[in-house]
């Protein structure tokens, strides 16, 4: 292998809990909810699937179905999909729906998995090219910079910047071309068997990790080092 491509959410990073997301947004707005109401509202937002990178919606409203299916193809669609889901839940101020969306893009909303720096650093030390390939509607580069992981990444290929989303093999092809590597000598690491598994159509090898809370997956990325000697 000469290169490794990584997914973002659920692979290298994990988004905060829905309750933490809501609490931080309320704090920024100078608002408070009683603890029981905070927990109840957070649970409703989680059921709605309003937190990008969090739990998927239990049900997508009919009026959002088309937007939901194409959400990762542009920043406008991504925002419309997730704020649309958020608006299924009453909040103390209508402006909080957009504020919640803004919060999830902030570096503080994300935690790197404990072994991410170790694994990325080891790959860099071996001369292995590293790319990040993500279905997303916003620029995640500031998250990597804030967590000091940007120095290990050679290229970012984000669906909204190309109008293509995984599992379309063209997105993985963009990453391989940017790194100047052959797909047959490239490993894709992700947590979504359908989306990330699309890399096999291009000839890449694929390795899957479990999308678990950070504390529950302290060493889930380390097997990658055995696959890229």
Task: pLDDT band for 229, please (50, 70, 90 cuts).
Answer: confident
98 and 146 co-located in one domain: no
127 and 89 co-located in one domain: no
Task: pLDDT band for 164, please (50, 70, 90 cuts).
Answer: very high
In sequence order, which ranges of the chain are alpha helices (DSSP H)?
Answer: 18-28, 35-48, 65-69, 75-86, 96-104, 116-125, 141-146, 159-162, 169-179, 223-227
* Domain stops at, among 82, 109, 136: 109
- CA dist 140 and 39 (Å) reads 28
Quick one: CA dihedral 112, 114, 119, 124, positive or negative? positive
- CA dist 21 and 7 (Å) reads 22
Phi, psi (rounded to 5 degrees) for 199: -65, -20
* Domain stops at, among 109, 129, 145: 109
101 and 44 co-located in one domain: yes
Q: Let me know: does 38 contact 220? Beta carbons within 8 Å.
A: no
Give me the residue label for tokens 């302290």.
Answer: 218
- CA dist 103 and 120 (Å) reads 26
Find out whether the peptide bond into 167 is cis, omega within 30 degrees of 0: yes
Mean pLDDT along residues 74-93: 97
Q: What is the pLDDT of residues 60-75, one digit of tens each?
A: 999 999 999 999 999 9
Q: What is the pLDDT of residues 169-209, one digit of tens each?
A: 999 999 999 999 999 999 999 999 999 999 999 999 999 99
Torsion of CA 91, 68, 73, 75, to 10 degrees: -10
* Domain stops at, among 91, 109, 127: 109
- CA dist 177 and 101 (Å) reads 32
183 and 214 co-located in one domain: yes
140 and 100 co-located in one domain: no
Phi, psi (rounded to 5 degrees) for 73: -90, -10
Q: Rounded to whole angstroms, what are the CA distances from 116 to 47, 74, 98, 195, 223? A: 29, 27, 30, 21, 12
Mean pLDDT along residues 84-88: 98
Average pLDDT of the residues of the chain: 97
135 and 96 co-located in one domain: no
Sort strands 129-134 and 3-6 into parallel, antiparallel or unpaired.
parallel
26 and 53 co-located in one domain: yes
Mean pLDDT along residues 27-56: 97
Task: pLDDT band for 55, please (50, 70, 90 cuts).
Answer: very high
Q: Rounded to whole angstroms, what are the CA distances from 131 to 60, 177, 178, 186? A: 32, 11, 9, 10
Domain with 117, as residue range(s), is 3-14+110-227
58 and 103 co-located in one domain: yes
Task: pLDDT band for 59, please (50, 70, 90 cuts).
Answer: very high
Q: What is the pLDDT of residues 102-133, one digit of tens each?
A: 999 999 999 999 999 999 999 999 999 999 99
Total domains in the fold of the chain: 2
Q: Is the pLDDT of residue 212 over 90?
A: yes
* Res 217: pLDDT: 98
For residue 140, the domain's CATH number is 3.40.50.1000
151 and 94 co-located in one domain: no
């Amino acid at each position: 292998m000469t290169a490794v491509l990584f997914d973002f959410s659920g692979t290298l990073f994990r988004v905060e809990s829905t309750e933490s997301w809501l609490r931080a947004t309320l704090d920024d707005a100078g608002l408070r909810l009683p603890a029981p109401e905070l927990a109840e509202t957070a649970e409703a937002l989680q059921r709605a699937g309003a937190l990008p990178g969090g739990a998927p919606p239990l049900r997508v409203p009919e009026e959002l179905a088309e937007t939901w299916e194409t959400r990762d193809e542009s920043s406008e669609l991504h925002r419309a999909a997730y704020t649309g889901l958020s608006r299924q839940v009453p909040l103390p101020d209508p402006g909080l729906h957009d504020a919640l969306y803004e919060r999830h893009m902030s570096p503080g909303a994300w935690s790197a998995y404990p072994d991410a720096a170790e694994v990325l650093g080891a790959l860099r030390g071996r001369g292995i090219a590293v790319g990040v390939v993500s279905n997303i509607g916003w620029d995640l580069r500031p998250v990597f910079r804030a967590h000091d992981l940007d120095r290990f990444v050679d290229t970012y290929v984000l669906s909204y910047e190309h109008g293509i989303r995984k599992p379309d093999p063209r997105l993985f092809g963009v990453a391989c071309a940017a790194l100047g590597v052959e797909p047959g000598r490239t490993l894709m690491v992700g947590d979504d068997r359908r989306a990330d598994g699309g890399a096999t159509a291009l000839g890449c090898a694929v390795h899957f990790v479990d999308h678990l809370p950070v504390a529950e997956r302290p060493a889930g990325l380390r097997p990658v080092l055995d696959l890229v000697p």
